[in-house]
A and B are shown apart, each in its own frame.
Chain A
Amino acid sequence: MSPDGGRVVHGVDYLEKKRVSPEPSHFLSLLHKIKDLSFRPCNNEYGGFLQVSMKLEMKDSPGQLVAALKPISDVGGNIIAVIHQRDPDPDGDTLNVQIVLELPKGRLDNLIGLLKEQGVHIQRIGEERLLYQRTVILIGHLMHTGFSDTVDQIDSTGFAEVTDVAMSMPAISDRSSSRITIKAVSRDDMEAALAILRRVARQKALLLIEPLEDTA
């Protein structure tokens, strides 16, 4: 991620200096970046933090953005990224920004209240506690071998969760296939979760198909 062209920037000062109106196609690629950002590696103290993405609408007047974002530091949060887009509508008196931030757990309501006081309209808000996502496929006698136990082995870790399951079961005696989405807080946690799944798959004679990651 680079601050090139002021599209994705760190910090408010920089933001105020560089205002750009990306084209719609640009904006899509920016959204894409934000998605990547939410999977960035994070440190251990992350456990106490919550990562949130918000889409904000505010009046487009000088200093407004800085004022609007001030409550974030007031509640002890950090801005991870700001995507800045001038309102495409002709009057152009509102400003839309998408921000990704992290803040201590339990402070979100506080922040929402403070933002409202600043006259900022929150269009959308998404909580993202679990930052890493991997999808794997399991093939075998999934039901006979206790599928809920397989899922439990991940869920009970506390650092990773099975968030989505798609299952296909042909005849009762045939092997079934399932697609499992796992989320974890950090890359190491994801690795640990996958290691558990590998062990369970071996014990239950299931075929585990993992995604190919760039290895180096």
Chain B
Amino acid sequence: MKVALIGLGSVGRGVAEMLAKKDLGLVLTGIADSKSAFMDPAGIDIARVLAHKKKNGSCGDQNLTAEDIIKKADYDALIEVTPTNALSGEPAIGYMKAALNRKKHVVTSNKGPIALAQKELRAMARKKGVALRYEATVAGAIPVMHTLEHGLAGNEILALYGVLNGTCNYILTRMAAEGLTYEQALLEAREMGYAEADPTYDVQGIDAAIKLVILANTIWDNGVKLGDVDRTGIDLLTPDALRLADEEGCTIRLIAEANPKKHLLRVSPRILDKNHPLVFEGTLNALTLETDMAKEITLIGRGAGSIETASAIIGDLLYIRDRYVERA
């Protein structure tokens, strides 16, 4: 199966490296970053492109753009891993539509388009007879979508709750363990590379809320939007609050939860018993699904990272290959 890769940052590089390293039967025929692009229907020499990107900051020909690749290159599936724009979803939504219009499958880690235009994009993919898959948008490496789609097929999902932001989990872990203030723990998270220069998205619960919206629309198709999420971040927490929780054998975690019967769609810091399955240290993510048949299922794993996120993308690509492409 031929694939084209748009975006060559942390995630894109992870995907490219794994395509080069593993014999997955996936051939890279197009690649683009923000400034340049490159295509070769016979298959791109990934090592060379990555070396070029490292040295020059661009991956290919400055006269070519991502759009050229999407519209002209010879590929079966588009891998869209450009930055998330939570307000407009662009340019990724445009990229995805262009690929779907050409009857190309789309795999993405980009939360913006899936939170904003999931319904439209899914309908478009259905109409064109291709797949739109976005495992990597929620909880990184954890196969949430595959679990919902296959492992829990036939189950009614009654509710879900989880830890969907590793940065917040890290900050809360450090505040509890060392009695750090929020500001100190944030500073440390930045030094460790777990927090962005502008941490607003993470610490105010926006990132977790976007993932919650993606999950809710995927499971219940209920058209909820980011603005529907009742959202409280962790930036106003005090070390005293964590200590008061600790005295009771509890701690505080940022929990995203959805329960359509209770009209609940919420991201907020919550008190949890330290033995609760959603209490763990560091940057991990986890999600508990409550279903009618299987009852509770909790998945836990890495919520971000270059190779970890590539894992989710490759899982989607191989699913498409087995399901659509090899058969054809």
Stretch at the interface among B69-77, B136-144, B196-204, B247-255: B247-255
**Interface membership of chain A positions 108-151, coded 1 if the CB is closer than 8 angstroms to chain B and 0 otherwise:** 00000000000000000000000000011101000000000000
A216–B290 contact, CB under 8 A?
yes
Q: Complex Cα distance A136/B269, Å?
A: 11
> Which residue of chain A lies nearest to B243 when distances are taken between CB atoms in the complex?
A168
User: Interface size on B (CB < 8 Å)?
Assistant: 32
Q: How many residues of A contact B (CB 8 A)?
A: 20
Q: How many A-B residue pairs have CB under 8 A?
A: 73
**B contact residues around A178 at 8 Å (CB):** 244
List chain B residues, Cβ under 8 A from A176. 240
Contact partners of B255 in chain A: CB under 8 A: 212
Interface string of B244-273 (1 = CB under 8 A from A): 110110101101010101101000111110
Question: B264 near A215 (CB under 8 angstroms)?
Answer: yes
**Given A211-B272, A215-B259, do A139 and B237 touch, yes or no (CB 8 Å)?**
yes
Contact check, A212 vs B161: say whether CB atoms are below 8 A apart: yes
Does A45 count as interface, using CB distance less than 8 angstroms?
Answer: no
Q: Is residue B238 contacting chain A, with contact meaning CB distance below 8 A?
A: yes
Asked if B158 and A216 sit within 8 Å, CB to CB, the answer is yes
Is B240 in contact with A177, judged by CB distance below 8 angstroms?
Answer: yes
**Smallest beta-carbon distance B85→chain A, Å:** 29
Q: How far is the CB of A170 from chain B (nearest CB, A)?
A: 7
Q: Does B217 contact A (CB under 8 A)?
A: no
* Residue A175 is within 8 A (CB to CB) of chain B in the complex: yes
Q: A4: CB under 8 A from chain B?
A: no
In the complex the two chains form, is B241's CB within 8 Å of A215's CB? no
Residue contact B278 to A212, C-beta cutoff 8 Å:
yes
Chain B residues whose CB sits within 8 angstroms of the CB of A175 once the complex forms: 236, 238
Given A168-B243, A212-B271, A215-B257, the answer on whether A135 and B290 have CB atoms closer than 8 Å is: no
Q: For residue A207, which residues in chain B have a CB less than 8 angstroms away from its CB? A: 232, 236-237, 269
Contact of A179 among B245, B253, B259, B272 (CB under 8 A): B245
B247 and A166 form a contact (CB under 8 A)? yes
Do B259 and A216 have beta carbons less than 8 Å apart? Answer: yes
Task: Kindly supply a per-residue 1/0 record for chain A positions 161-177, scoring 1 wherever the CB is within 8 Å of any chain B CB and 0 otherwise.
Answer: 00000101010000111
- Cross-interface CB contact of A135 among B248, B253, B296, cutoff 8 Å: B248
A216 to B245, CA, bound (A): 24
Question: Which of B237, B255, B261, B262 has the largest number of chain A CB atoms within 10 A?
Answer: B237
Bound: A25/B182 CA distance, A: 41
Q: A179-B245, A212-B276 are in contact. List 5 more A-B contacts (CB 8 A).
A: A207-B236, A207-B237, A211-B250, A212-B257, A216-B290
Q: List residues of chain A with CB under 8 Å of any chain B CB.
A: 135-137, 139, 166, 168, 170, 175-179, 207, 209-212, 214-216
